[in-house]
């Protein structure tokens, strides 16, 4: 009798298991990106002025004369002629895989290419020339196990995953590269200007660069041949931005603003700290005040959305003067008595900063989500989520969008 009783029990158990497998299976479709590798030699050979490309993910920006050099994160640098701001033209694209930051010193452009610093002669933007490479000066940007290879691009892969509905998948499954960011969803007589989100800064014939942990110093005594001098300790991790002013570097981190003296240009020393709650914080400075923005969202780990005004008349002991609440402030620029503030989905604000204790909004232009801005005296070149905007501010409080270069994702 025992086999007769056991068989129905086993049969019921198998039916339950199998029905559970089919009943609880969930089909999910994903798209992920797989890195495409090339050798360093292949990538370096491709660094030249190519045809203009669509802007897909704008990052750092630098303005020199009539040209804008706009980083497209991890892809390279767009060259834009804005001699006519009403009709700016993309004139070329410099393919630099792994590029995130840039600076321009006279006729030379400096850009990171993963772990290396690339020096490029841009005296003729239509036919740039690679001058040289400083290898392994940014070791924190090392993403691949083979030092002879770099990630030259990303290939989109569509896939289907079948799973039980009680299994939780994480995004770690979707990436096959240790680079956690994947493809992401600033003539010697010509002055240049970087955006406030820059991580490269120029001063005293030196190039200063910040990583998440430290600051690096390069001599530009010969602009065509940067020489790495040393690594300096800032005082905290999670460094975001750098802003040179007078004989100091204002370094923004998610933990605060650090003031580093460059009285000795080759040996920056932290002399003052302004601490605040954890937040992302680009910073600009002028005379006795620094202006620091804090914003929520992304990896900033804060609910604060404000601009802090900091008294830096005594560099060793910066102090908070006043805080002003905004929507989601990011990059900023100053032109005379006015601060131009990128305020996320609120667009671009113009603030009257004659009195740091009584800053007021004099104009706002919306309809886009702004990230960084450079003022030129007449035009506010604004990096936004959907493109690059050219905003005429000659007749404040009137602001007028006179042109736009859209993104093409």
Residue with structure tokens 């694209």? Answer: 93
- Among the residue ranges 14-23, 115-124, 186-195, the one predicted with the least confidence is 14-23
In this predicted structure, the answer to whether residue 171 has a pLDDT above a threshold of 60 is no
In this predicted structure, the answer to whether residue 383 has a pLDDT above a threshold of 90 is yes
Between vectors from CA 104 to CA 390 and to CA 88, what angle results, nearest 5°? Answer: 25
397 upstream amide cis, omega within 30 of 0: yes
3-state secondary structure 56-116: CCEEEEEEECCEEEEEECCCEEEEEECCCCCCCEEEEEEECCCCCCEEEECCEEEEEECCE
Q: Average the pLDDT over 368-391 and give the result.
A: 95
Between vectors from CA 128 to CA 41 and to CA 244, what angle results, nearest 5°? Answer: 95
Ranges of beta strands (E only) in 96-237 are 102-105, 108-113, 116-121, 129-134, 149-164, 192-194, 200-203, 206-210, 214-219, 227-233
Q: Average the pLDDT over 313-327 and give the result.
A: 93
CB-CB contact of 68 with 62 (8 Å): yes
- Among the residue ranges 297-301, 346-350, 392-396, the one predicted with the least confidence is 297-301
pTM here is: 0.79
Residue with structure tokens 């859209």? Answer: 406
What's the CA gap between 365 and 403, in Å, rounded?
14
Query: Backbone phi, then psi, for 338, in 5-degree steps?
Result: -115, 135
Between vectors from CA 156 to CA 150 and to CA 161, what angle results, nearest 5°? Answer: 120
For residue 150, what pLDDT band results from cuts at 50, 70 and 90?
low
What would the pLDDT profile of 385-394 be if each residue is shown by its tens digit?
999 999 999 9
What would the pLDDT profile of 55-105 be if each residue is shown by its tens digit?
999 999 999 999 999 999 989 999 999 999 999 999 999 999 889 999 999
What mean pLDDT is reported for the chain? 82
What's the CA gap between 90 and 64, in Å, rounded?
15
Q: What pLDDT sits at residue 4?
A: 40
Q: Average the pLDDT over 151-179 and give the result.
A: 49
Is residue 373 left, alpha or beta, with left meaning phi > 0 and alpha meaning psi from -120 to 50? beta
CB-CB contact of 203 with 214 (8 Å): no
């Amino acid at each position: 009798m025992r086999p007769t009783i056991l068989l129905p029990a086993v049969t019921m158990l198998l039916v339950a298991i199998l029905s559970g497998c089919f009943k609880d299976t969930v089909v999910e479709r994903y798209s992920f990106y797989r890195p495409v590798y090339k050798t360093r030699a292949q990538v370096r050979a491709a660094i030249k002025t190519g045809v203009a490309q669509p802007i897909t993910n704008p990052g750092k920006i630098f303005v020199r004369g009539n040209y804008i050099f706009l980083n497209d994160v991890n892809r390279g640098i767009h060259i834009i002629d804005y001699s006519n701001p009403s009709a700016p033209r993309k004139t070329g694209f410099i393919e630099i895989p792994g590029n995130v930051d840039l600076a321009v010193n006279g006729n030379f452009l400096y850009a990171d290419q993963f772990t290396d610093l690339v020096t490029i002669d841009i005296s003729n933007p239509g036919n740039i020339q690679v001058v040289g490479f400083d290898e392994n000066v940014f070791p924190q940007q090392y993403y691949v196990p083979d030092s002879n290879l770099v990630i030259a691009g990303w290939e989109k892969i569509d896939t289907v995953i079948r799973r039980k509905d009680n299994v939780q998948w994480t995004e770690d499954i979707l990436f096959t590269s240790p680079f956690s960011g994947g493809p992401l969803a600033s003539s010697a007589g010509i002055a240049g200007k970087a955006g406030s989100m820059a991580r490269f800064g120029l001063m005293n014939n030196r190039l200063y660069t910040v990583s998440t942990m430290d600051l690096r110093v390069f001599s530009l005594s010969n602009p065509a041949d940067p020489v790495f001098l040393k690594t300096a300790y800032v005082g905290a991790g999670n460094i975001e931005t750098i802003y040179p002013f007078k004989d100091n570097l204002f370094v923004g981190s998610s933990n605060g603003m650090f003031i580093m003296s460059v009285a000795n240009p080759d040996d920056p020393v932290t002399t003052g700290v302004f601490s605040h709650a954890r937040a992302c914080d680009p910073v600009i400075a002028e005379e006795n005040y620094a202006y620091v923005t804090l914003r929520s969202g992304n990896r900033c780990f804060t609910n604060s959305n404000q601009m802090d005004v900091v008294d830096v008349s005594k560099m060793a002991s910066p102090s908070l003067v006043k805080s002003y609440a905004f929507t989601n402030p990011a990059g900023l620029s100053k032109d005379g008595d006015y601060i131009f503030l990128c305020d996320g989905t609120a667009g671009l604000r113009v603030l009257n900063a004659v009195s740091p204790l009584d800053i007021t909004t004099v104009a706002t232009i919306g309809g886009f989500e702004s990230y960084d801005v450079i003022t030129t005296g007449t035009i506010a070149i604004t990096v936004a989520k959907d493109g690059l905007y050219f905003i005429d501010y000659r007749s404040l409080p009137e602001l007028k969008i006179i042109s736009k270069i859209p993104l093409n994702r």
